Amino acid sequence: MSSESMSSEVAQICSDLIRFDTTNPGPGERPAAEHVAALLSDAGIEPVVFESASRRTSVVARIPGDSPEALLIHGHLDVVPARPSDWRIHPFSGEVSGGCVWGRGAVDMKGTLAMTLALVRDWARRGVRPDRDVVLAFLADEEATGEYGARYAVRHHRELFDGCTDAISESGGYSVEAPGTRIYPVAVGERGTAWMRLTATGVAGHGSRPPVDNAVAELCHAMSRIASHPWPVRLTPGVAALIEDLSDILGERIDLDRLEEEAARLGRIGDLFGAQIRNSANPTMLQAGYKVNVVPGTAEGHVDGRFLPGYREEFLETIDRLLGPRVTREFVNVEDAPSAPMDSPFFDRLGAALVAEDPAARPVPYVMSGGTDAKSFAELGIRGYGFAPLMLTPDLDYFGMFHGVDERVPVEGLEFGVRVLNRLLTSRGSRSFAAPAPAPAL
């Protein structure tokens, strides 16, 4: 298969996937999942299709390799909402313009699904066998809790992941421009999730009377204490290693006593650690009352809490102290912070695959500020890495496109990703495609 036909296929698959509106909450993932299953079946790969609820559809397939020790490549079919009036190009058009595929999910993460599909379809055409079993999972519901996707798959279809020791998925392996080089963060962990519902209970009464025990006021005070709390810096091993590597790459010391200021000074490079040096808690929702002159007996609010690997207990103890005795909390969703080893042959292989396709690449470890389905697969003992290889042009803000407007992915970046994945998964990777396109000038 020529590089031109492979390239056109990856862009076409990405475009087609974007045209399926898989907004979560919304119509469900079934049509997109059926399309993915058809692409796999067409390549002679037998998919397993299952639903956790009506139209909440996931697809899993296994490609036999030279070793039964399997690698899981997982991604999600659902996307967050997009309002067309905010976009330059309709978010569900999948239009190719200016060298990019546009639309909701181009980066998060239908572009990555397209890279995987283009690669395995090409393997099937040429009879390529990967170095070890590869399990592909195209999942529902990652943009919520994963209850209808990864969690369901892990609980009800555990056998599909037999033999999987490592996994790769979103939010890593993308390029960040630096003087004279390109930094490629490879995620070795992510912060844990603690989405909480807070409830304050007071005395209902007439709004004209002196306050006795106002639930709304009590909740607002607690929310304010949470919002203004100065969380202390906590350097986890992954973030500490990242900062050390960045100092070496930049040829300058990053001041550990001023990390917040250093992150701001370094711009997109600083974004790699700016949100990962602390726990965090953001008030996001408030519900109380039904009439302006009635003091309600209860008030509720929601907080999005995130905690660093190893700091769950410290996080919760702090939250309880900030809430005080008159506000209770319950979890809407709670998941631990998974981590994977940096000092492993597989991590080294991830970096080597990037360098093989981009000699200017400097892979570095990285910890994600948000969360992925890796949390669910960690329950099976699968070590998850953020590795969705993508070479970006300097004008594209990777983090800004996640859940943002005008999300788009460069076609050349998708092509790069296919080549990197091929390098990673086959010992014959260097001979599988035509010579890689020249890397963009630095």
> HSE on the CB side for 238, CA within 13 Å?
28
Check residue 431 and give its pLDDT: 40
Per residue in 128-179, pLDDT (tens digit) is 999 999 999 999 999 999 999 999 999 999 999 999 999 999 989 999 999 9
- Report, as an integer, the average pLDDT of 333-341: 95
Check residue 6 and give its pLDDT: 44
Q: Confidence class of residue 13 from pLDDT cuts 50, 70 and 90? A: very high
Mean pLDDT computed over every residue of the chain = 93
Closest Cα to residue 194, out of 316, 327, 377?
316
Closest Cα to residue 6, out of 132, 113, 123?
123
Q: How far apart are CA 37 and CA 60, in angstroms?
A: 9
Check residue 401 and give its pLDDT: 84
Q: How far apart are CA 323 and CA 329, in angstroms?
A: 8
* Strand 56-63 to 408-410 pairing: unpaired
Between 75-84, 158-167, 412-421, 430-439, the lowest mean confidence (pLDDT) is in: 430-439
Per residue in 219-269, pLDDT (tens digit) is 999 999 999 999 999 999 999 999 999 999 999 999 999 999 999 999 999
Which helix (H) or strand (E) segment holds residue 32: the answer is: helix 30-42
- Report, as an integer, the average pLDDT of 63-88: 96
Q: Which residue has the tokens 């909450």?
A: 25
- Report, as an integer, the average pLDDT of 393-422: 93
- Report, as an integer, the average pLDDT of 104-133: 97
**Is residue 218 a contact partner of residue 202, using CB atoms and an 8 Å limit?**
yes
Predicted structure pTM score: 0.92
Check residue 399 and give its pLDDT: 81
Q: Is the pLDDT of residue 188 over 90?
A: yes
Q: Confidence class of residue 438 from pLDDT cuts 50, 70 and 90? A: very low
Per residue in 196-224, pLDDT (tens digit) is 999 999 999 999 998 889 999 999 999 99
With 0-12 / 13-18 / 19 or more C-beta atoms within 10 angstroms meaning exposed / middle / buried, residue 352 is middle
Q: Is the pLDDT of residue 432 over 60?
A: no
Segments in 127-235 forming alpha helices (H): 150-156, 215-228
